Each structure stands twice: as structure tokens, then as C-alpha cells.
Chain A
Amino acid sequence: MSVLAAADLRLPAGPLDYALLVLYFAMVLGIGVLARRSVSTSLDFLLSGRSLPAWVTGLAFISANLGAIELLGMAANGAQYGIPTVHYYWIGAIPAMVFLGLVMMPFYYGSKVRSVPEFLRRRFGKGAHLVNAISFAVAQVLIAGVNLYALALLLKLLLGWPIPLSIVIAALIVLTYTTLGGLSAAIYNEVLQFFVIVAALLPLTVVALRKVGGWQGLLAKVTASPGGADQLHAWPATNITGIQNPVLSVIGIVFGLGFVLSFGYWTTNFAEVQRALSAKSMSAARRTPIIGSYPKALIPAIVILPGMIAAVIVPEMEKLKAGDTGVGVQFNDALPLLMRDLLPNGMLGIAITGLLASFMAGVAANVSSFNTVFTYDLWQDYIRKDRPDEYYLRVGRLATVAGTVVAIGTAFIASGYGNIMDYIQALFSFFNAPLFATFILGMFWKRMSAAAGWIGLVAGTLGAVSIFVMADPKLLGVLDLPGQGASFVGASVAFVLDIVVSVVVTLVTRPVPEEQLGGLVYSLTPKADRTHSATGEDAGWYRSPVLLGTGVLVLTAALYIIFS
């Protein structure tokens, strides 16, 4: 990434802005200290004692995904591609979140597993469990590194702090509150972060919209900008997929992003599912992703929109968009540049706080899911069994420290990629797409064998890796798929390969005995175990997961009609 931009991007932050920032960090650490008082077992530390209400886990669910990379990357996509970026929020998230809540959560929460890999161990035994636990732990540490690097760059550009110093300070803050209060502290902070991020971006969007001359002014300016009117329609999104044929591009979005990548990420990524597992009841767990999906559907208005506006009112961004790469900025700088140009001291401090908060949300989610999988799925299952619970609580705390230290080291792997989103998408396609295939087969096909579990996963991951290698111009470069099209195709190949290999392997191996599969497979789970109570705290029509899920699907469909 360019370091030339440092001087141009420095924000005019004053003492007031720093005071607002410091107040926020004091609150964050305070939550860690308060949450520590409620931690007495490893389950408290790693899963919040399964005690949180649905609005808390729901907002944490969405906030865990609202990291700095997500914000800066999606604003960058907005600046570069325009409205087609909404696919990442709508078709690329909402259906999968509703599916997780309505269809999959009864098995996750009902079987009382403590992690996604643990579900695989009970369904398929050790092979699939080990493959998934290790790949997940590695992926989380890598992504935490990417998040740390993004923050360091941000601090350097915005406030002029050196990269090593900002990595250490940020890592220390996340480390302090997650080691003290465990998942509760992480989740409570994620909820606080959610509100701070909205409080930062909503005023920025309002001012930007006024500056550009309202909605009509934005339409006119974007139509006249490089990329033209295609940026104002969600479909066919050829600029995002890199696939020129409009029909194939729509198929790429719907199947690649909307089905495989999105379902793989939202339904099997433990960093997300963990938030729902910490809910206090089955009903609250099912509502968690669905409550989160409402803000998810609306967030594009305060992320993509300011990105698009930045591309037409910030002089450096206009030059970059016209193809001038010598201006020293990149699309990822859209939000910081807009803040620099529009916000006076005071709101500027809140906006900086919001960006930093979003960074910490990402790292804390990675770290708090890493330590759970490491402690329960790797250490307890394979290294030291049957120790007292205090032992695993201590392992959990140490894993938090170790994970953060390793993440600092991986931060620099990300530096080779201009658009961070490409890198993240590639990682997800390696691990998540085949996982979803294995889960869906395993949950609904009782015949599926243990061997098919892990062989399918490995085959799918290898498939995604080979597409990545073939499409990356720095590696083989034999497939011509610029932009994010390569991840869509890679994920689809991984999914199909996983299904085919799993079916073939199942047909030649012995199935798992049926008596071991109660609560894990649809046809072997009594209906009573799959339904949730609707009394007491779970009563009321407005707490019905099905109704809430239908509501958000209707909302998303309406949004698509408006922006088609």
C-alpha cells in the first residue's frame, strides 16, 4: 500500500477529538473489568454462560462482521463500482442469516455443542473435526492479522502514529478486555461499537448527501463519472464479477456470492455462530441472526452511499477514478477522505472513534472465536483431556494472548494486496464454501459417512485453492477473472466438488450408526427438540423467528426492486 498518502490524509484532529476517543476506550476497558466479575467457569469465559438476550447477541452478530476491512472495503467498492456493491449486504447475507436462524440453529443450539467444529466431531468424528478446527483457527489468526494491519494503516494515515506502535496499542486494548471478560466483554463491546459506528457514519452520510446536491445531485454526478450509469443499478453487476456476459454475471452473483459464499460464511463461520450460541434460550438463539439481518439490510445506506459520494466530490478520488494512480490515494481511503473534507472537530472525533471501534470489533471477534476453538476443540480434545474446568479457563486466557501475538505477525501477509476485500474473499472461499456443503449434506442425509465428512472438506478446499492459483495474475493467471469473480467461481467449484466427493465416498463407506445422530440430523431429531419455547421471556408474536425472518426477506426484496 502507498505510503505517499500520509501527508494528504492526515485528519485535523484536535484535543476535543482525542478526548472523545479516550472516553470511548475507557468505557471499553471498563466493560472488560466489569465482565470479569461474572466469569467463573470456562463456559462463562468462552460462551458467556449461554445467558445473553437476543437483542444483545443479534447486534453483536452483525457488529462482529462490521470490522474495519468490511467498512473501508465496502465503501471502497461503493466508490469503485457503485450500487452493485449492495449484493454483499443483501443477496450475499440476508437469505443466509435467515436460513441460519430458522433451519440450522435448532441443531447448533439444540445439540448443546460449544463450537461449530464440535458439531462436526459429533456428526462425523475426528477426521472432519480436526480438518475444520485447524483450518478455522488458522483462518481466524490470519484474518485478525489483516484487521490489525488495516488499523495500523488507518492510525498512521489519520493520526500519524507509526505502524508498529499502533499495532501494539490496538492489540493490547483488545487483549486486555477479551482476556479479562472473555466473550461477554467482547459481545458487550460489539453492541457498544455498533451504536458508535452508526453514530459516526450517519452524520457523515447526511452531510455528504447535502454536499453532493441531494439524491438527484448524486445520480447526475455518478452518471457523468467514469463507469457511468451502470453504477446506479444493482444488476447485472458485471463491474463487480468481472464477467462480461450479463446473464453469467447474474448467475455468478446469485449462485457464487448469494448461495455458496454467503451461506458458507454466515451459517458455518464460528466467529458469527458463537454469538448465537451464547444466547439465553433456543428462541433467542434463533432470533439472533435474524435480528442482526435488519441492520445488515440497512447499513449500505451509511457505508456504500458515502463511498459513492466520495468518488464524485473528493478531488483525489475523482482523479483516481479517472485512472490517475499517481495521486497517492486508493479506494480504501474513501471514508477517511470524506471525514477530512466534511466533518468539523467534535463529530470528527466521533467518526475516528467509530472507525477504530469497527476495527476492534473485527479483531475481538476473531480472537474470541479462535480461543474457544483452540481450547475446546484442539487442546481439550487432542492434547490434555479431563482436566478440571479452571485449567481450561486458564488455557482460554493464554490462547487469547498467543492468538493476538501470532496475529501481529500475520498482519504483513495482507500488505501485498491492493484491495483487501479480494484477499478476504479468497480466504473465505478456501474454508467456508466446502464447509457449508458438508453441513447441509450432514444435517439432512443421515447415510453420509464419517470418511465422506473429512474427504469432502479437503477436496472442496483444494478445489477453491486451485481456482485461486489459476486466476491470480501473480501466480498462474490462466483464468481471466479480475475483481471478485475469482472468489465466486472458486467458492462454487469448492461447493460442487465437496458435494460430489462426499456422495461418492459415502456410497463406498459405512454410515455413522443412527443412535449417535440424535439432535444432529433432521430425520433423527424429534420435532419437540427442534422447536423452541414460546412462553415467558420468549412469548409474544413479535418474538417469532419465522415472522421476523419473513419480514426481513420482504424488506430486502423491496430494496432490490427500488434499486434494480
Chain B
Amino acid sequence: MAEQKSAQSAGLFDLRLIIAVLFAVYGVVLIVVGTAFTSDADLQKAAGININLWSGIGMAALAAVFALWVRLRPLVVPDEVPADNADGVGGH
């Protein structure tokens, strides 16, 4: 088996950061659309809720949580460890 070798290479990029980036972009775009480009017809369609704005805020918050998690528990790529203890993409 080639497990020793993969222990170092797996998790070279941090999934949490990718999630944070995607939702940061989505969040900002939706907040801008929600505050500056929302017509009365849009509001009426969504039962009176400015759904773009609120969803944007929610997604920005999600992005912040993931960014904070990356910050507090950065990804460790161990040099030489047995496969069983390999540290992947952050803890739980």
C-alpha cells in the first residue's frame, strides 16, 4: 500500500477556504443586488421579503464562519507521520 506517501500530499489545499471564497462572492453580490437593484415587483414576487439581501447576509456570515475556522485551526501538513495519524483538512 502507498498510504505513507499519500499522508503528506492529501489535503494540500484547504476545502474550508474554497467554501469561504465562494460564499463571500455570492454574499457580496446578493447584498449589492438586494440593496441597490431591487424593484417593487421583485419584492412583491418574493412575498414582500428582500430575499436577495437576506440570503446575501446569510451567505456572507457562512463565509465568515469558515474563514474564522481556517484562521483558528490552520491546516497542518505533517512531514513524516504514519497514515493513521495524518492530519487532513482541519479538525471537527
Contact = CB atoms under 8 A, between A and B. Distances in A.
Interface in B1-19: 1-3, 5-7, 9-13, 15, 18-19
A37 interface: yes
A195 B19 contact: yes
Contact of B55 (A16, A51, A55, A203): A203
Interface residues of A, number: 53
B3 A199 contact: no
A37 B44 CA distance: 49
B68 interface: no
Interface of A is mostly: helix
Contacts of B88: 51-53, 56, 280
Contacts of B48: 210
Given A51-B86, A53-B89, A195-B62, A210 B19 contact: no
A41 B5 contact: yes
A44 B10 contact: yes
A536 B81 CA distance: 13
Contacts of A344: 38, 42, 45-46, 51-52
Contacts of A50: 3, 6, 83
B10 to A, nearest CB: 4
A537 interface: yes
Given A53-B91, A343-B45, A346-B33, A536 B85 contact: yes
Interface of B is mostly: helix
B29 A20 contact: yes
Interface in A4-57: 16, 20, 23-24, 27, 30-31, 34-35, 37-38, 40-41, 43-44, 48-56
Given A48-B10, A49-B7, A537-B87, A206 B49 contact: yes
B47 interface: yes
Contacts of B47: 207, 210-211, 342
Interface string A113-142: 000000000000000000000000000000
Interface stretch (A184-192, A400-408, A469-477, A523-531): A184-192
Most buried by A among B10, B22, B42, B52: B10
B10 A199 contact: no
B19 A49 contact: no
23 contacts: A16-B33, A23-B22, A34-B12, A40-B5, A41-B2, A41-B6, A43-B1, A43-B2, A44-B10, A49-B9, A51-B10, A199-B23, A202-B55, A206-B49, A206-B51, A207-B47, A210-B47, A281-B84, A342-B46, A346-B30, A346-B52, A347-B30, A537-B85
Top 9 A-B pairs, shortest CB-CB distance: A49-B6, A51-B10, A344-B42, A41-B2, A210-B47, A211-B47, A346-B52, A346-B33, A203-B55
Given A49-B3, A542-B92, 9 more contacts: A20-B29, A37-B9, A41-B2, A41-B6, A51-B86, A53-B92, A188-B15, A341-B45, A347-B52
